[in-house]
């Protein structure tokens, strides 16, 4: 009876202190963050209300007063900029994950293990996220430039608003190829469908993804708890399954 009473009191205390936080999440981190948010609510009682999109768009929204409390960016520059501008809490920023860029096709035999399809295919369309808004799009442009193929592919590039839309273009067949995030095509450590070339990290700047507590989240226990949870074993196990390192 005493144990049951303790559990009941603990549950009541957890519910009494539970809070919500609004979280802006980079589009490449959609699938893992949905799983992490569910586990976070189960483990802490706090709830994370998620919005997904391009990091550049979130920056503009935050500077225009959007009531977002946590940012999980697709780069490390945007959180640092927000911190320098006073729109984020100083000292709260850290790298929660490092992502990988992949060249992907929904067709199983299209993309080879070395990405030579970029040199051989002269007719295909290539989906790329807007490099001005999406760090993965910028990494794709940098990769093509280092390969000496940017000019050849520019006329056949289909520009998407975000990495999520770039994936949709490739998945639907509107583009035969797409530069997307590894996390969008990997499940449990394996490419789940189609064919892919994981771009060597030396072909673009590291895709370090930083989290930061925004000014609107200062003092919110759910916001600070979520940032701590992202550094824990449960969250990192989910990230590994989607191809992230940290």
- Is it the case that residue 4 has pLDDT exceeding 80? no
- Is it the case that residue 15 has pLDDT exceeding 60? no
Q: What is the pLDDT of residue 12?
A: 41
Q: What is the pLDDT of residue 38?
A: 98
Q: What is the pLDDT of residue 122?
A: 80
Q: What is the pLDDT of residue 59?
A: 97
Domain limits, the chain: 2-98+206-241, 101-198
Over residues 71-130, the pLDDT tens digits come to: 999 999 999 999 999 999 999 999 999 999 999 999 999 999 999 999 998 889 999 999
Higher pLDDT, 3 or 176: 176
CB atoms near residue 172 (< 10 Å)? 10
| 128: β partners | 159
The token duo for 65 is: 């007063």
- The superfamily CATH assigns to domain 101-198 is Periplasmic binding protein-like II (3.40.190.10)
With bands split at pLDDT 50, 70 and 90, how would you rate the model's confidence at 11? very low
Q: What is the pLDDT of residue 16?
A: 46
With bands split at pLDDT 50, 70 and 90, how would you rate the model's confidence at 9? very low
**Contact status, residue 89 vs residue 218, Cβ threshold 8 Å:** yes
Q: What is the pLDDT of residue 189?
A: 86
Strand order across the 177-181 sheet: 157-160, 126-129, 177-181, 101-105, 195-198
Q: Cα Rg for the chain, rounded, in angstroms?
A: 20
Q: What is the pLDDT of residue 156?
A: 96
Strands 186-187 and 190-191: antiparallel
Domains 2-98+206-241 and 101-198 share a fold: yes
Written in H, E and C, the secondary structure of the chain is CHHHHHHHHHHHHHHHHCCEEEEEEEHHHHHHHHHHHHHHHHHHCCEEEEEEECHHHHHHHHHCCCCCCEEECCCCHHHHHHHHCCCECCCCCEEEEEECEEEEECCCCCCCCCCCHHHHCCCCCEEEECCCCCHHHHHHHHHHHHCCCHHHHHHHEEEECCHHHHHHHHHHCCCCEEEEEHHHHEECCEECCCEEEECCHHHCCCEEEEEEEEHHHCCCHHHHHHHHHCCCHHHHHHHHHCCCEC
Over residues 131-165, the pLDDT tens digits come to: 999 999 999 999 999 999 999 999 999 999 999 99
| CB burial readout 70-92, b (16+ within 10 A) else e | bbbbbbbebbebbbeeebbbeeb
- Is it the case that residue 13 has pLDDT exceeding 80? no
pTM: 0.86
- The whole-number average pLDDT for the span 172-196 is 94
- The superfamily CATH assigns to domain 2-98+206-241 is Periplasmic binding protein-like II (3.40.190.10)
Over residues 186-241, the pLDDT tens digits come to: 988 899 899 999 999 999 999 999 999 999 999 999 999 999 999 999 999 999 99
């Amino acid at each position: 009876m005493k144990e049951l009473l303790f559990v009941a009191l603990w549950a009541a205390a957890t519910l009494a202190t539970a809070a919500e936080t609004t979280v802006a999440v980079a589009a490449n981190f959609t699938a893992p963050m949905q799983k992490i948010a569910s586990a976070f609510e189960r483990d802490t009682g706090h709830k994370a209300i998620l919005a997904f999109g391009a990091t550049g768009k979130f920056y503009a929204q935050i500077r225009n007063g959007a009531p977002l409390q946590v940012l999980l960016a697709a780069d490390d520059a945007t959180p640092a900029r927000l911190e320098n501008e006073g729109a984020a809490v100083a000292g709260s920023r850290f790298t929660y994950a490092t992502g990988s860029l992949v060249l992907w096709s929904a067709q199983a035999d299209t993309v080879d293990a070395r990405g030579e399809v970029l040199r051989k295919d002269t007719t295909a369309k290539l989906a790329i996220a807007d490099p001005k808004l999406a760090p993965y799009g910028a990494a794709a442009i940098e990769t093509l430039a280092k390969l000496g193929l940017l000019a050849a592919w520019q006329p056949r590039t289909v520009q998407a608003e975000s990495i999520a839309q770039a994936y949709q273009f490739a998945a639907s067949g509107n583009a035969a190829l797409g530069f997307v995030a590894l996390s969008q095509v990997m499940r449990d450590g394996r490419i789940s469908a189609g064919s892919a070339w994981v771009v060597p990290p030396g072909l673009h700047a590291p895709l370090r993804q930083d989290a930061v507590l925004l000014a609107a989240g200062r003092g919110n226990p759910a916001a600070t708890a979520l940032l701590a949870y992202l550094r824990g074993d449960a969250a990192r196990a989910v990230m590994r399954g989607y191809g992230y390192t940290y």
